[in-house]
Amino acid sequence: MRVTSGDRPAGQPISDGAYYFLAALCGVATGVVGAAFHLVVDRLMTWPARLVAHFGREPSTIAMAAGIAAAGLVAAFFLTRKIAPEAAGSGVQEIEGAMEGLREVRWRRVLPVKFAGGVLSLSSGLVAGREGPTIHMGASIAQAISERMGLTEAELRGLLAAGAAAGLSAAFNAPLAAILFVIEETRKQFRYTFRSYTAVIVASAASAIGMELVGGTAPPLKLDNAEMPLALIPAFLVLGAVLGGMGLLFNRTLLFMLDWTAATFRRAPFVPALVVGATAGALAIVFPQAVGGGELIIPGFVTGNLAVTTLLVLGLVRFAGAMVSYPVGVPGGIFAPMLAIATVFGLLAAALLDAVMPLPPLGAAAFAIAAMGGLFSATIRAPLVGVVLAAELTGGYALILPLIVTCATSNAVSQALGGRPIYELLLERTLRLAGQAMPPSRVGVSAPIGVDDEPKR
**CA–CA distances in Å: residue 189 to residues 90, 138, 436:** 17, 17, 17
Structure confidence at residue 75 (pLDDT): 97
Q: How far apart are CA 110 and CA 90, in angstroms?
A: 12
Mean pLDDT of 184-212: 88
Provide the residue ranges of all domains of the chain, joining segments of one domain with +.
Answer: 16-213, 230-433
| pLDDT score, position 6 | 47
* pTM for the whole structure: 0.90
At 351, which amino acid appears? A
Q: Which CATH number fits domain 16-213: 1.20.120.450, 1.10.645.10, 1.10.1740.10, 1.10.3080.10?
A: 1.10.3080.10
Superfamily of domain 230-433, CATH level 4: Clc chloride channel (1.10.3080.10)
Band (155; pLDDT cuts 50, 70, 90): very high
pLDDT (tens digit per residue) in 58-108: 999 999 999 999 999 999 999 999 999 999 999 899 999 998 889 999 999
Class of residue 415 by CB neighbours under 10 A (exposed 0-12, middle 13-18, buried 19+) = middle
pLDDT per position as a tens digit, 255-310: 999 999 999 999 999 999 999 999 999 999 999 999 998 888 899 899 888 899 99
pLDDT at 450 over 70: no
Q: What percent of the chain has pLDDT over 70?
A: 92
| Res 25 pLDDT > 70 | yes
Domain 16-213 and domain 230-433, same fold? Reply is yes
Q: What is the mean pLDDT of residues 197-212?
A: 93
Higher pLDDT, 10 or 106: 106
